[in-house]
Structure 1
Amino acid sequence: MFALYLTVTLIAAFLCGWAGVLGLIGHDIPKSQAEKLGVPVSWTPVMGTLLAAGTLGLLAGIAVPLLGTLAAAGLVLYFIGAFYVHVRVRDYDFTFWSVFFAAVVAALAVALAHYGPDGAWQL
């Protein structure tokens, strides 16, 4: 079970870390998405920071289960918010969103399955 947990967590961390770095360095991809979705471009570093923090939390969760579980839950909430923003402007292309969302939901699910509802909350 640990191998599955580790694999899924590393995949989710890679995806979110990649997106976070793009937001932090001011790459054109997050800027164009922000403009397309009606989000101020000035928010892209903040969103990149949230994704980077979630990534670090997922990775820290390998050693401290509570951090990983909370980070995965926070990333799930982040992508639920992203879903709302897409729907708000009637953008129904959820291709990339679904990949990211599936990865973080899977990371949360395997963390809870591996550590159990009680074990994940122990420091």
Structure 2
Amino acid sequence: MTQNPFEALGAGGLDMNALLQQAQQMQEQLASAQAALAEATADGTVAGGAVTVTINGVGEVTNVAIKAGQFDGSDADDLSDLGDMIVAAYRDAKAQADALASEALGPLAGGLGGAAPGQPPGQIGF
């Protein structure tokens, strides 16, 4: 057994400058991908377009559109159905936003010890 654990890396040892430079590049790529996601949008639609929810790439709701004439506001059942449809449309949009995030951040997450090659990346906290 050797005294220096870095001897196995070769004559030059561990190149900290190269490692720090690579980490800085990854951090810049991650910031760029996150900024692009914040600008991206995804629409979730249910009931043939009766309800559409738009969210940005980080999961924030930016718009809810309800097609005129689809719901009677005086009927409690219709209002309950409307609430359910808004939730379903949000979930549809969120699934699309998650796919965008996986596409944009997946390669970066893999470089940070993320999913094994050939495996889908995990969710990125939203």
- Greater per-residue strand proportion: 2
Relative contact order, CA 8 A, sep 6+: which one is greater? 1
Q: Bigger radius of gyration, 1 or 2?
A: 2
Considering fraction of residues, name the structure with more helix. 1
Flag whether TM exceeds 0.5 (same fold): no
Q: What is the TM-score normalised by the length of structure 2?
A: 0.31
